[in-house]
């Protein structure tokens, strides 16, 4: 049998070489070899078949991968058996009965890889650019498996410049493992242009050492080129990582900002720290969850737009709770900030336990609307999620709204007057008590908005507020009291600095370093970044 097989292999190679790409029916020899040949023959056959770009070949490859191919030694034929019906793999003709000695064609790992590469070659020729892109992505993960001829043909065929560039990289990666020194050198140069982390992994073996200290790659010039290429890739990766850090910093900062904004209003106005502020965030988040639930049961068609209703509901519910807190507790502790702090801490405990009792201690699930999921990729290693982008925009809107209320309305005028000099404002007829209540309601409502936003990026549970309260206090302290701009800069600064420190030092140390920096910063500027100018020594 063996010499026979060798002969057939030679014949197959001849056929493959003689008829590249225009065989209309599948060569019976090739098909037979695929079904009954040994390892090398089968690999050759797969390559030859995939080079034909014949749809029938693709069907056969897929059938092999699916394990529905049988081969008969006596009939010297290969059959595809599906749904009890058999067809001759070479001709595509239906066959009445498969010969009795037909056996399943066993696909081992090596063949499976070859088959998948072959399928990828078909996909590379697909008319749909998306499918081609997916095929290229598969090759990028394992460029050594790519067949050079297939890739070269795909490059020649490819019209999309982006895809062609990616194919070029795949080709270079394949050439890297070849033996031709000039081609390897050239391949390294081309890989240096890559943005994909996978190519970096390809280059790494070139500069690594064996355990005995010698380089795995003997050629010094290749080594140097590979090193330069890795540095180039790392440099671009760093730029991407920095952009990513800035973005996640701004994103964290904007969430902090929503939490700190309300705090800045209440603290700036009354000089009291509302320890229950974090729980107002939580109330906003739970309000969002309730609205989502209501939409799911009553307006399932409009679930995607539940946020539009949740925003005012979150604002109103948090504002109501805030007004209630102000009316029942804070009002009576006016002028005793430390006691207010304790009383509001007590309130926060009660609110947490209340939510735990009513809604359970488990986190509840708030889903992103479909228009908020996904993101835009700005680099291979940086994707900006839509929900975070929306939150940044949302907090910008909220800041603008609060600014407008404080600067353009009569209430805002009163609030600013009371913040600057309560006694004088009272003397000229500002109803300070009512301003207190309204401003507290406003600050609480803004916290509710923050909770609504938080529900889109984090877990919603009874402890939600606790995680944010210290950070948002820090933002207020850093920014300076009573200044919108200070709070904005403080929050964003805190967010960006912590996100930059996190990869270097780890999240915990980053928090500690940030805190130490704030304490040191307060040494220099006890009044924060943006201080109100005043004459009071105890300001």
Partner 1 sequence: MNALADLVAAPTRLVAPPRPSLFSRTGWAVLAAATAVNCVLVPLAALALPADSPFALSAYWLTLGGRIMCYALAAVALDLVWGYCGVLSLGHGLYFALGGYAMGMYLMRQIGRDGVYGSDLPDFMVFLDWKSLPWFWQGSDSFLWALAMIVLVPGVVAFVFGWFAFRSRVKGVYLSIITQAFTYAAMLLFFRNDTGFGGNNGFTDFKRILGFPIAAIETRVVLFVLTGIALAAGLVACRAIVRSKLGRVVSAIRDAETRVRFTGYDPLPYKLFVWTVSAVLCGIAGALYVPQVGIINPSEMAPAQSIEMVIWVAMGGRGTLAGPVAGAAIVSGAKSYFTAAFPEFWLFFLGALFVAVTLFLPRGVAGLFARRER
Question: Does residue 509 bind partner 1 (CB under 8 A)?
Answer: yes
Where do we find the tokens 């209430």?
Answer: 411
Q: Are 77 and 88 in contact (CB under 8 A)?
A: yes
Q: Provide the minimum distance between the beta carbon of 494 and partner 1 in the complex, in angstroms, as a whole number.
A: 12
Binding region for partner 1 (CB under 8 A) out of 76-84, 133-141, 264-272, 393-401: 264-272
SS3 261: helix
Helix (H) or strand (E) holding 71: strand 69-72
Question: Does residue 329 bind partner 1 (CB under 8 A)?
Answer: yes
What string marks each residue from 443 to 472 as x (binds partner 1 by CB under 8 A) or -?
---------------------------x--
Q: Provide the minimum distance between the beta carbon of 335 and partner 1 in the complex, in angstroms, as a whole number.
A: 12
How many residues form the binding site for partner 1 (CB under 8 A)?
45
Q: What is the DSSP string of 365-386?
A: P-PPPGGGSSEEEEETTEEEEH
Q: Provide the minimum distance between the beta carbon of 342 and partner 1 in the complex, in angstroms, as a whole number.
A: 5
Question: Does residue 511 bind partner 1 (CB under 8 A)?
Answer: yes
Axis-axis angle for helices 464-479, 337-359 (nearest 10):
150
- 9, 343, 418, 453: residue in contact with partner 1 (rule CB under 8 A): 343
Question: Does residue 340 bind partner 1 (CB under 8 A)?
Answer: yes
- 294, 345, 403, 500: residue in contact with partner 1 (rule CB under 8 A): 345
Q: Provide the minimum distance between the beta carbon of 520 and partner 1 in the complex, in angstroms, as a whole number.
A: 7
- 73, 228, 341, 413: residue in contact with partner 1 (rule CB under 8 A): 341
C-alpha 323/C-alpha 457 separation (Å) is 27
Lookup: tokens for 523: 């040494």
Lookup: tokens for 458: 């984090």
For the chain, the maximum distance between any two Cα atoms, rounded to a whole number of angstroms, is 112
Closer CB to partner 1, residue 411 or residue 517? Answer: 517
Is the four-CA dihedral 290, 293, 298, 302 of positive or negative sign? positive
Question: Does residue 356 bind partner 1 (CB under 8 A)?
Answer: yes
Burial readout 210-243 (b: 16 or more C-beta within 10 A, e: otherwise): eeeeeeebeeeebbebbeebbebbeebbeebeee
Closer CB to partner 1, residue 194 or residue 344? Answer: 344
Binding region for partner 1 (CB under 8 A) out of 80-88, 130-138, 222-230, 519-527: 519-527
Binding region for partner 1 (CB under 8 A) out of 36-44, 83-91, 111-119, 340-348: 340-348
Question: Does residue 349 bind partner 1 (CB under 8 A)?
Answer: yes
C-alpha 308/C-alpha 445 separation (Å) is 16
C-alpha 41/C-alpha 241 separation (Å) is 47
Residues that bind partner 1 (CB under 8 A): 267, 271-273, 329, 332-333, 336-343, 345-354, 356-357, 470, 473-474, 477, 506, 508-509, 511-512, 515, 518-520, 522-523, 526, 537-538
């Amino acid at each position: 049998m063996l010499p026979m097989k060798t002969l057939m292999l030679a014949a197959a190679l001849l056929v493959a070489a003689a008829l590249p790409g225009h065989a209309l029916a599948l060569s019976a020899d090739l098909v037979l070899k695929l079904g009954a040949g040994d390892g090398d023959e089968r690999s050759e056959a797969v390559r030859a078949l995939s080079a034909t770009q014949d749809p029938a070949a693709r069907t056969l490859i897929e059938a092999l991968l699916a394990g529905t191919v049988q081969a008969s030694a006596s009939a010297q034929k290969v059959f595809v058996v599906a749904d009890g019906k058999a067809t001759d793999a070479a001709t595509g003709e239906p066959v009445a009965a498969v010969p009795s000695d037909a056996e399943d064609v066993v696909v081992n790992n090596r063949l499976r890889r070859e088959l998948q590469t072959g399928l990828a070659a078909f996909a590379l020729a697909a008319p749909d650019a998306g499918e081609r892109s997916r095929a290229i992505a598969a090759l990028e993960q394992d460029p050594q498996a790519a067949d050079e001829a297939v890739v070269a043909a795909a490059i020649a065929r490819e019209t999309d410049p982006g895809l062609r560039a990616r194919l070029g990289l795949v080709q270079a990666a394949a050439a890297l493992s070849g033996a031709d020194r000039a081609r390897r050198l050239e391949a390294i140069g081309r890989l240096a242009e890559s943005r994909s982390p996978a190519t970096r992994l390809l280059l790494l073996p070139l500069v690594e050492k064996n355990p005995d200290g010698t380089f795995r790659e003997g050629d010094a010039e290749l080594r140097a080129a590979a090193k330069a290429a890795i540095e180039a890739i790392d440099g671009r990766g760093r730029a991407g990582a920095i952009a990513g850090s800035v973005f996640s910093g701004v994103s964290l900062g904007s969430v902090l900002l929503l939490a700190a904004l309300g705090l800045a209003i209440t603290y700036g106005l009354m000089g009291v720290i509302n320890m229950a502020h974090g729980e107002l965030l939580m109330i906003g988040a739970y309000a969002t969850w309730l609205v989502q639930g209501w939409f799911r049961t009553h307006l399932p068609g409009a679930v995607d737009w539940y946020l539009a209703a949740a925003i005012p509901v979150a604002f109103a519910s948090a504002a109501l709770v805030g007004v209630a807190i102000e009316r029942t507790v804070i009002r009576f502790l006016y002028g005793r900030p430390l006691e207010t702090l304790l009383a509001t801490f007590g309130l926060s405990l009660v609110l947490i336990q209340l939510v735990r009792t009513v809604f359970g201690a488990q986190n509840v699930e708030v889903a992103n609307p479909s228009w908020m999921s996904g993101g835009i990729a700005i680099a291979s290693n940086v994707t900006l999620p839509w929900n975070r982008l929306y939150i940044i925009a949302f907090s910008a809107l909220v800041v603008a709204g609060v600014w407008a209320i404080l600067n353009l309305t009569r209430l805002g005028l009163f609030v600013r007057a009371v913040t600057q000099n309560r006694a004088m404002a009272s003397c000229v007829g500002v109803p300070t008590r009512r301003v207190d209540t309204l401003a507290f309601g406003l600050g609480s409502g803004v916290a509710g908005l923050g909770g609504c936003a938080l529900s889109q990026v984090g877990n919603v549970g009874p402890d939600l507020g606790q995680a944010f309260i210290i950070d948002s206090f820090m933002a207020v302290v850093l920014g300076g009291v009573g200044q919108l701009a200070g709070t904005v800069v403080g929050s964003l600064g805190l967010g960006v600095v912590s996100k930059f420190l996190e990869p270097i030092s780890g999240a915990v140390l980053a928090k500690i370093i940030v805190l130490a920096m704030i304490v040191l910063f307060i040494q220099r500027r006890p009044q924060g970044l943006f201080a109100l100018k005043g004459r009071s020594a105890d300001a």
